Amino acid sequence: QVQLVQSGAEVKKPGSSVKVSCKASGDTFSRYAIGWVRQAPGQGLEWMGGVIPFFDTANYAPKFQDRVSITADESTSTAYMQLSSLRSEDTAVYYCATFYRNLFESWGQGTLVTVSS
Amino acid sequence: DIQMTQSPSSVSASVGDRVTITCRASQDIGSWLVWYQQKPGKVPKLLVYSTSILQSGVPSRFSGSGSGTDFTLTISSLQPEDFATYFCQQSNSFPWTFGQGTKVEIK
């Protein structure tokens, strides 16, 4: 089974961008789609989008369509999520997870992104 | 988007109790319903998929049922390690959406 390890916590200013990485090990990276889900403090889960590394194709939740970019690098078995035009409401833990059969099976440890002036 | 509504938002129960959590979809999703468990400060864990199929390693005291728009997750005999927040997710259609969560607390 694949293991996902994410990059460390970030503190960002409003209006800036953040890029979070998600490195896979333990199985063939290209076998999986990778989804990104965020969780604001004390709140529920929110799907942002995902990527199929083998095809390097991504899709996005309409809410984030204009601000998010999700990519994958098969050579390093790493997926990336970049969110731009950050605002305080984007403060959250961002998770990557393997996406198969339309569900999220193996999760990264999460990356806390804090947006504050 | 399909809206997922869970009830109750929290429940207080004792070890050994039977606990039932409900998830309602805003439109028919067939059997495309998933449940996750999240303990405080931890990563969500896949529990049940396709409404009633337990993920490998999940204890048999967990069960899921329902179809269409109404679904339930039942814990037949609550154990100390089951105190957590539970989320449903519809896996029927894009964009994938989650319920707001149900927190199972110690009574």
How would you write chain A as a 3-class SS string?
A: CCEEEECCCEEECCCCCEEEEEEEECCCHHHCEEEEEEECCCCCCEEEEEEECCCCEEEECHHHCCCEEEEEECCCCEEEEEECCCCHHHCEEEEEEEEECCEEEEECCCEEEEECC
Instruction: Answer yes or no: do B89 and A35 touch at CB < 8 A.
Output: no
For residue A65, pLDDT over 90 is answered with yes
Nearest CA-CA distance, residue B66 and chain A, Å = 18
- Tens of pLDDT, residue by residue over A16-49, are 999 999 999 987 777 789 999 999 999 999 999 9
Contacts of A62 in chain B (CB under 8 A): 1, 95
For residue A56, pLDDT over 90 is answered with no
For residue B42, pLDDT over 80 is answered with yes
Instruction: Answer yes or no: do B36 and A108 touch at CB < 8 A.
Output: no
pLDDT value at residue A30: 77
Q: Which of A44, A63, A107 sits opposite B100 (nearest CB)?
A: A44
Instruction: Answer yes or no: do A109 and B95 touch at CB < 8 A.
Output: no
Q: Predicted confidence band at B55 (pLDDT cuts at 50, 70, 90)?
A: very high
Question: In percent, how much of chain A has pLDDT > 90?
Answer: 82
> Contact at 8 Å (CB) between A24 and A76?
no
pLDDT value at residue A55: 84
Instruction: Answer yes or no: do B96 and A102 touch at CB < 8 A.
Output: yes
- Tens of pLDDT, residue by residue over A92-110, are 999 999 998 889 999 999 9
Q: Predicted confidence band at A73 (pLDDT cuts at 50, 70, 90)?
A: very high
pLDDT value at residue A1: 80
For residue B87, pLDDT over 90 is answered with yes
Mean pLDDT estimate for chain B:
97
